[in-house]
Homo-oligomer: A and B are copies of this chain.
């Protein structure tokens, strides 16, 4: 519902990156194992976020991905505009191609205030807020906590 798998992974990965020290690049591999998502798929997503100017990417040894800006300057809307496309903000609940105040579907005016709530949430929620929540230890970013993976490694 609501978000595609791609968007979900993108948001999770960026939150995780926001919890890491900003100086050193984060490896795709590490993010993937911490979140428990397929690494090559995540790589593709991170690449597209780099193309969308949300991330820096560095090749070679000591390479990896870095947030282009600090977490307090990146909100969820910016991310989802990249992963869901621009249609994300303007779509009609019934899927009509044109559905504006002038030429509206019967749900249009009921949907507008609800949609505004969603958009406000996405605009207002920054990576920094979410990263702090995760760092507090009260919230989980993945189904299988990352600590479990760390314990299993030699």
Contacts and interface: CB of A to CB of B under 8 A. Distances in A.
Interface of A: 1-3, 5, 8, 11-12, 15, 84, 87-88, 91, 93-99, 103-108, 110-111, 113-114, 117-118, 121, 125, 129-131, 133-134, 138-143
Contacts of A103: 140
Given A104-B140, A110-B125, A121-B110, A94 B12 contact: yes
B93 A141 contact: no
Contact of A95 (B8, B94, B131, B133): B8
A111 B107 contact: no
Contacts of A138: 104
B104 A139 contact: yes
Contacts of A95: 3, 5, 8
Contact of A139 (B1, B15, B106, B113): B106
